[in-house]
Structure 1
Amino acid sequence: MGKPEEAGVVQESPPDEADIAAKEVFGEDALRATEREHALTFFQAVKLYPAAMGWSAFFSLGVIMTAFDPQLLGSLFAEHAFQKDFGYLFEGEYIISAPWQTALSMGNPIGQVVGAVLVGYPMEWWGRRWTFAGCVTLTASFIFMQFFTRSIVVLLVGELIGGLILGTYTTIAPTYASEVCPMAFRGQLTAYINLCFVTGQLLASGVIAGTSKIDNHWAYSAPFAMQWLWPIIILAGMPFAPESPWWLIRQGRLEEAEKSLNRLSSPTIDNKLTLAMMIETDKLEQEMETGTTYLDCFNKSNWRRTEISIGVYATQVFSGIYLVGFAALFFNLIGLDNDKSFDMSVGFLAVGWVSTVLSWVAIAKFGRRRIYNIGLTVMTILMLLIGFLDLAPNYLNRKSISWTQCILLIIWNGVFDISIGPVAYVLFCEVSATKVRTKTIAVATAAQAIVGIVMTVAIPYMINPDQANWRGKVGFFFGGLSVLCLIWSYFRIPETKGRTYEELDLMFERKVKTRAFKNYKIVEIAGGNMHEA
């Protein structure tokens, strides 16, 4: 207990006592670096760390490829030339059967399960830089199979094998972004990964909208060929990319880590302090026994962090994001003609792109927890409205209802991309311990992809006219799942805005309650004694 107040004078702890107490937790140089991180504003960070922003964005280009391929394939299911070459006649129209839609769509989610987990090993052995370069080279090779095939079986093999490599980028990109960016724009740069997803989806829909009127194989061969653009750009830049300083520290290569930090920041930054903070965090995690293996993601010191990472990412699928891949087909099946369906799918993703950019402002102003929970609440309501509209009398003859459902789904996508879409990447990068960040992100990605596999199987059967033909009633399905996710997120997602990795380590170690994260103080001095607050 502190001393009582005397005659209206508040007894304050001497400044040097506070410094000493904090140094016991952080170390002198690490404390100075932590204080600098907290003092840095977004615009100051942009000025001082332009290279970190640029290279983080560069490593996220792989995510554009990850998003382009499944969106392309989902749009091709509604393209006449593709339907004719790979489908069969059903009531006078060519369609791709639900089993084949499911099989072809499996490449991406299966790839994320296997690729995300396997890439954790070369990322630890060879680093982020060389692993990324190797994966991009393999992606460029497997595009040949997609481009030249005229057989649905060969296309299936190409999608499955190519998907294994595409699945690695959803682990590489957030890991690198979280390891090179200062706290002031860490949220924006990890959220940028969602923008890359939307960009890939938007480009794929735009390309298909432009080629859908072609009557021969170039209607789908040309979009497949477009995928070579990104490997060319990435491989040209790879020789100049700096390695992650966090990875170099864990390898004991401290001089190289400092050089990497110098390359990522302006010359005015004293990176010896930053290096000291990173080394201190690494030592703290060794003391906490966070470990370095996949099994360590589930030990008692990491389990809560892994659960949050899995939950925020899997909620994206439970809420309905896999409908985006079937947007053109979905719009077509609920009543829009073919051309309007493709146009709407492009508009659908354009709204998502703008929303993701707006999310950067929201993340900086409101943090993570509030945006995630409010966004998910609105999305749940919108999905249920889409379902109820499908119950309207004489539905098939009332185009206004179809258009309303389309507009609601577009609004839903906009809300997703300003809330749980980008914020999920921010959260699983921030809550994971640095020593197992790659593994935690891989586990979360694999878990999300497993749920994605279930949805990839289910959605064609839900919406195809030769199967359940639910149309907008899928809103009830995803709306119901969203309610359950909302309950979980309210009680489990903490606020991580404005916290260094070392501070988050200490807060998780102390088992701080979810809703106490926002205002929790690491050390507080009262009457000369240090205690938790």
Structure 2
Amino acid sequence: MLCYASAAFLVGACFGYDGIINGASIAMPAFTLYFGETTPDGQTYLPSVWTSLWTAMTGLAQALGGFGIGFAMDRLGRKWTMVGMAMFSVTGVAVQFVANSRAALLVGKMLNGLAIGALFAIATAWASEISSARLRGIIQSSLILFQTCMQMLGLGIIRALIADMRPRAFKTAFAIQWPLAAVLVLVFPFVPESPVYLINKGRLEEAKKSIAAIYGKTNSIDARFTHLVGMIRRENSGHEVAAGGYLDCFKGTDLRRTLSVIFIISGLNVCGAQLLTQNIYFLLIAGLPVKHTFDIGIGGFALSICLVIASWTVLERLGRRGLFLSGPLVSAVLLFAIGGLHYVSGVGAVWAVAVMMNLLIAWGVVTFVSAGWALTAELSTYRLRAKTQSIAVVSNAIVQWAFSFVTPYLYNIDAANLGARTGFVYGGLATIYLAAAFWIVPETKGLSVAEVDWMFENQVSSRRFQTMRDQARAAAA
């Protein structure tokens, strides 16, 4: 199982590298010289409208990709849609590589964003459908681990190219996305199709073979197959079609599940992610030397990797809810501190802002991202999992789009010019989000799909999922 799941981890790597390149490449001097403008006093900068468009429209394209792929997944399956979208990513990277204008670069970023959004929706759905309940949280978290590893590597690559003032510096950074997509094209034809998809299509013999490939032929295949078929048929009972549509995600008990997924997946962006992902450019404006901004960023991602690995124990022993709630709590405290440092003069204050921003990135990866994606994979029914994961990707991308468009106007010198005071804005939002999350985010640690179904069908409060576990287990038996 873990061997096959590692194929999905490659998508996490693609998603992570694309995200870091979008934010970090605009801090490269070669990029600014090629696509920027110059003030009357000779200062080179990137216009706020274009920094907003490059980040925001990429997020919008990811939303469109995540939404559209939900239909394709249920019609064509998981693995072949993965191959097709990986090939589409190759095209998007090519457009970025040859772009000689801001508009052409925007088109390339949107094409690749469309593919990346689709790929991540497929990967999270497929990985959750081949995972056992015991490993589901760790496998979803491993997607984030690979994402973070690639973000650190991407930042290191840009750091190595930072002194090169020629256009080939940022073009090389873009081109590295080609081999990542190529590996997906080569690997995914050989992985087993999702047994959930095959059962929903009535291809039971193929589903049984898929389960045998995933778990091993001697690992209670008949029992696993019978249990999965029973679960899916129970979920599908009373519905005309096995695979529900997007509207079904907003009906009956699925409405609460879907709204919970949207809320959970939006947390990172609501609590300041777009300020943090643009931290290199932000810190350059604040006066920190280029090489130091990258060095601190690389250190922050290294810390993220260590924390994600450590979170595997926390996810399974202490649960998802507590870890997730610590995200907005810590974010609120540190973002208010960052805002306050605007009024402190000297290079020490800038260094303090840099350190806190990277600590927030690391903590956000563990809480909002690692625990968050584990929760979204566990809250949906088998019947609507592909659609729900698509909605999660779409929601994340739309919220990311909105905040990434607004954020440069908050801190940039040619707009509101708040600088570090932007931390006050996001600190306030994090406080509000924490209050709401306390009532909305459930604890799904150790619960089977049937037990989670029972919780929602019986309208159990999100805060009581663990206290009602025995009743759910008895009802699902």
Whole-Å separation in 2 of the counterparts to 1:524 and 1:73:
45
Q: What's the counterpart of residue 192 of structure 2? A: 242
1:350 aligns with 2:299: no
Q: What's the counterpart of residue 28 of structure 1? A: none
The structure 1 residue matched to 2:115, chosen from 165, 185, 205, is: 165
Whole-Å separation in 1 of the counterparts to 2:454 and 2:93:
46
Cα deviation for residue 267 of structure 1 reads 3.4
Q: What's the counterpart of residue 69 of structure 1? A: 18
Q: Is the 8 A contact 2:97 2:171 kept in 1?
A: yes
The structure 2 residue matched to 1:177, chosen from 127, 132, 135, is: 127
The one-letter code sitting in structure 1 at the alignment partner of 2:219 is: I
Cα deviation for residue 288 of structure 1 reads 6.6
Cα deviation for residue 193 of structure 1 reads 2.1
Q: Is the 8 A contact 1:76 1:82 kept in 2?
A: yes
The one-letter code sitting in structure 2 at the alignment partner of 1:437 is: R
The structure 2 residue matched to 1:430, chosen from 374, 378, 382, is: 378
The structure 1 residue matched to 2:311, chosen from 359, 377, 383, is: 359
Q: Is the 8 A contact 1:102 1:456 kept in 2?
A: yes
Q: Deviations over 1:199-258 (max 9, x none)?
A: 332222111101010121111111111111112222221231110111111111111111
Please list, as runs of the form range in 1=range in 2, the aligned pairs for 1:38-117 lying within 5 A after superposition: 52-90=1-39, 91-117=41-67
The one-letter code sitting in structure 1 at the alignment partner of 2:423 is: G
Whole-Å separation in 2 of the counterparts to 1:81 and 1:186:
43
Q: Deviations over 1:308-354 (max 9, x none)?
A: 10011001110112233312112212231122112222222222222
Cα separation, partners in 2 of 1:500 and 1:431, compared to 1, 3 Å: same
Whole-Å separation in 2 of the counterparts to 1:288 and 1:500:
22
Structure 1: tracts of 5 or more residues without a match = 1-51
The one-letter code sitting in structure 2 at the alignment partner of 1:161 is: L
Cα deviation for residue 156 of structure 1 reads 1.3
1:377 aligns with 2:329: yes
The one-letter code sitting in structure 2 at the alignment partner of 1:73 is: N
Whole-Å separation in 2 of the counterparts to 1:453 and 1:356:
25
Q: Is the 8 A contact 1:107 1:161 kept in 2?
A: no
Q: What's the counterpart of residue 413 of structure 2? A: 465
Whole-Å separation in 1 of the counterparts to 2:231 and 2:432:
35
Cα deviation for residue 106 of structure 1 reads 2.8
Please list, as runs of the form range in 1=range in 2, the aligned pairs for 1:249-398 lying within 5 A after superposition: 249-287=199-237, 292-392=244-344, 395=345, 398=346
The one-letter code sitting in structure 2 at the alignment partner of 1:441 is: Q
Cα deviation for residue 521 of structure 1 reads 3.7
Q: Deviations over 1:388-431 (max 9, x none)?
A: 22223xx2xx1111111111122222221222220110111100
Q: What's the counterpart of residue 5 of structure 1? A: none
Whole-Å separation in 2 of the counterparts to 1:221 and 1:465:
27
TM-score, structure 2 length as denominator?
0.95
Whole-Å separation in 2 of the counterparts to 1:323 and 1:365:
32
Cα deviation for residue 291 of structure 1 reads 6.5
Whole-Å separation in 1 of the counterparts to 2:132 and 2:472:
25
Structure with larger Rg: 1
Whole-Å separation in 1 of the counterparts to 2:385 and 2:424:
35
Whole-Å separation in 1 of the counterparts to 2:298 and 2:117:
24
Per the alignment, in what secondary structure is the counterpart of residue 205 of structure 1?
Answer: helix
Q: Is the 8 A contact 1:181 1:189 kept in 2?
A: yes
Q: Is the 8 A contact 1:107 1:164 kept in 2?
A: no
The one-letter code sitting in structure 2 at the alignment partner of 1:112 is: Q
The one-letter code sitting in structure 1 at the alignment partner of 2:163 is: K
Per the alignment, in what secondary structure is the counterpart of residue 476 of structure 1?
Answer: helix
Whole-Å separation in 1 of the counterparts to 2:286 and 2:304:
21
Q: What's the counterpart of residue 347 of structure 2? A: 399
Cα separation, partners in 2 of 1:521 and 1:72, compared to 1, 3 Å: closer
Q: What's the counterpart of residue 141 of structure 1? A: 91
Whole-Å separation in 1 of the counterparts to 2:238 and 2:470:
16
The one-letter code sitting in structure 2 at the alignment partner of 1:56 is: A
Q: What's the counterpart of residue 208 of structure 1? A: 158
Per the alignment, in what secondary structure is the counterpart of residue 88 of structure 2?
Answer: helix
Cα separation, partners in 2 of 1:350 and 1:303, compared to 1, 3 Å: same
Whole-Å separation in 2 of the counterparts to 1:453 and 1:510:
36
Cα separation, partners in 2 of 1:415 and 1:53, compared to 1, 3 Å: same
Q: Which has the higher helix share?
A: 2
Q: CA RMSD in A?
A: 1.9
Q: Deviations over 1:5-47 (max 9, x none)?
A: xxxxxxxxxxxxxxxxxxxxxxxxxxxxxxxxxxxxxxxxxxx
The one-letter code sitting in structure 1 at the alignment partner of 2:143 is: I
Per the alignment, in what secondary structure is the counterpart of residue 167 of structure 1?
Answer: helix
Q: What's the counterpart of residue 186 of structure 1? A: 136
Q: What's the counterpart of residue 196 of structure 1? A: 146
Cα deviation for residue 102 of structure 1 reads 1.2
Cα deviation for residue 375 of structure 1 reads 3.0
The structure 2 residue matched to 1:150, chosen from 88, 100, 108, is: 100
Cα deviation for residue 458 of structure 1 reads 1.0
Q: What's the counterpart of residue 128 of structure 1? A: 78
Cα deviation for residue 376 of structure 1 reads 2.4
The structure 1 residue matched to 2:431, chosen from 467, 483, 496, is: 483
Q: Is the 8 A contact 1:359 1:417 kept in 2?
A: no
Structure 1 stretches of 4+ moved >3 Å: 287-291, 521-525
Cα deviation for residue 94 of structure 1 reads 1.6
Q: Is the 8 A contact 1:387 1:476 kept in 2?
A: yes
The one-letter code sitting in structure 2 at the alignment partner of 1:54 is: C
Q: Is the 8 A contact 1:83 1:95 kept in 2?
A: yes
Cα separation, partners in 2 of 1:63 and 1:503, compared to 1, 3 Å: same
Whole-Å separation in 1 of the counterparts to 2:471 and 2:104:
61
Q: Is the 8 A contact 2:93 2:177 kept in 1?
A: yes
Q: What's the counterpart of residue 415 of structure 1? A: 363
Per the alignment, in what secondary structure is the counterpart of residue 434 of structure 1?
Answer: coil
Per the alignment, in what secondary structure is the counterpart of residue 38 of structure 2?
Answer: strand
Whole-Å separation in 2 of the counterparts to 1:121 and 1:459:
33
Q: What's the counterpart of residue 452 of structure 1? A: 400
Cα deviation for residue 495 of structure 1 reads 0.8
Cα deviation for residue 109 of structure 1 reads 0.6
Count of matched residue positions in the alignment of Structure 1 and Structure 2: 474
Cα deviation for residue 531 of structure 1 reads 7.6
Per the alignment, in what secondary structure is the counterpart of residue 390 of structure 1?
Answer: helix
Q: Deviations over 1:435-481 (max 9, x none)?
A: 11111111122122111111111111112122222222121111111
Cα deviation for residue 264 of structure 1 reads 0.8
